[in-house]
Structure 1
C-alpha cells in the first residue's frame, strides 16, 4: 500500500493508469490520493471522468466506516456470530470470532455426572455452515438482544439473548483494530435441556 503525501507524485505500479488511490485501514481511517491532475479530465476522456465520479461517490461510505464506534464494531462482531447461524454463513462467523475462540457450557451425562463441553473456532464454522442449513432451526424473525455490559480500552463483555439460549461473551480489539469474540459461556433458557438423553 502507498500513501501519497501533498507535493509528492505516486510511485510504483499504481502511478501508471490509476486515477486515484484509496487506502482503507482496519482502524476505520482512510487515505484518498488523486494521482492525476484535474486538467486530465478533458471532454474526450470518459473513462477518467467515470472513475473520478466513482471515487467521489465512495467518499461518504468511507467516512461512515471511519466514524464507527467501538460499540458498533462490537455489536457487528456479535451479530456476525449469531446471524451467521441464522443464515448458514461461515464467512460471517469467521469475521466475528477469533481463531483461539473457546466456547463452553456445562452438561449432565446420562449417568448423572456433570462435565464441561468445549467448542472451538473450527467447530463454530461448521455450526454456521450446517446448523440451520434447512432453514428450520430459527423462527422467521429470530431474537437478537445484544447488551454491551462493559468496555475497557481493548476488552469488552457482552450478553446475547437468542431464541433458545444466552451467551456471555468476552471480546478484544486485536492489533488490526478488529473486535473479535474470544470467549463464550452459554446456557439454554430451559436448563433441563442441558443433559444427555439416556
Structure 2
C-alpha cells in the first residue's frame, strides 16, 4: 500500500512540475505587462499581441439614476482601441507607473494573475493556445470603489 501511495505522489508531483516552466512564468508576466504598458505608452499592436481574440474585460458599476449595479463589458477590439487612444496626451499615469504582476496560480494551459496598477486592480485569466500565452478574461475594479458609482 505504501508503494502505491509513493508512486501516486511521485506521479502527481511530476505532473505539477510539468505544469509551469520558467519560460511559462516569463511569458505570462510579459503578457500581463504588455497589457498595461500598451496603455501607458499608446501601443495598439502591443495590446493586441497580449490578448486572446475572445477576451472579455468586466467590472461592476452603479447606475446613478436607478442605483442598481450593472456589469460593464469590453472586448479585445475595445481594448486595442483603448490602447491607441486612452493615454495619447501622456496624462493618465504617473511618470513611473505602478505595474506589479502577481502570479496567483499557474498550470500547463491556464494562469490566474493579479495586476496592481496605479488606480486599479486587474484579475486576469491567461490561457496558453497554440504555444502562446494570451489574456482571455479580465475582472477589474478601481482601488477607490467610489469610482464605480
TM-score range, shorter chain: 0.7 to 0.9
Q: Which runs of no fewer than 5 residues in structure 2 stay unpaired?
A: 1-20
Corresponding position of 1:193: 147
TM-score (norm 1): 0.63
- Distance in 1, Cα, partners of 2:23 & 2:103: 13
Q: What residue is the counterpart of 2:28 in the other structure?
A: 74
- Residue 47 of structure 2 is aligned with which of 93, 101, 117? 93
Whole-angstrom distance in 1 between the partners of 2:93 and 2:147? 17
What is the match of residue 119 of structure 2?
A: 164
Unpaired runs of 5+ residues, structure 1, are 1-66
Whether 2:38 is the aligned partner of 1:84: answer yes
Pick the structure with more strand per residue: 2
By relative contact order (CA 8 Å, sep 6+), the higher-ranking structure is 2
Aligned length: 128
Cα shift at 1:77: 0.4
TM-score by length of 2: 0.84
Q: If each structure's helix is expressed as a fraction of its own residues, which one has the higher value?
A: 2
Cα deviation, 1:45-95, whole Å, max 9, x if unaligned, reads xxxxxxxxxxxxxxxxxxxxxx96100000010011000000000000001
- How well do the aligned residues superpose, as a CA RMSD in angstroms? 1.1
Rounded Cα–Cα distance in structure 1 between residues aligned with 2:53 and 2:64: 32
Matches within 5 A, 1:1-198: 69-111=23-65, 112-175=67-130, 177-195=131-149
Task: Give 3-state SS (helix, strand or coil) of 2:102's partner.
Answer: strand
User: Residue 77 of structure 1 aligns to a residue in which SS?
Assistant: helix
Write out per-residue CA displacement over residues 134-159 of structure 1, whole angstroms, 9 at most, x where no aligned residue. Answer: 00000000000000111111100000
